[in-house]
Structure 1
């Protein structure tokens, strides 16, 4: 009786170990964006904001008295 109980406990432990191993998966690494892409894209670098107008053209900018960024 004791041997059977011990064997069952061992089987349960082994199953738990297997489940834990299955759960662990490698996380995919995010690809870094190409630096050249960032340089060419004005919307990502903020250059588009300067081209469309500086903060002094917005309502909040006028209230604060910001000057144009050139």
Structure 2
């Protein structure tokens, strides 16, 4: 991940483009919030190439969250 932890637990700074993101909620995905607010970040473009790649990541991550919730429920 390209973030450096800020002064508070919900403030991060991208080491590459310098954008700071704060006030995360439990359901936020930092990588997707980063892409939403800084789509020209060289780190994101180098590692993911495009918004389309991030959308695929979002779907995969959402499936993972659903399966994780189910496993906790079954436990």
- The TM-score normalised by the length of structure 2 is 0.29
Higher-Rg member (1/2)? 1
- Higher strand proportion (structure 1 or 2): 2
Q: Which has the higher contact order (CA 8 A, sep 6+)?
A: 2
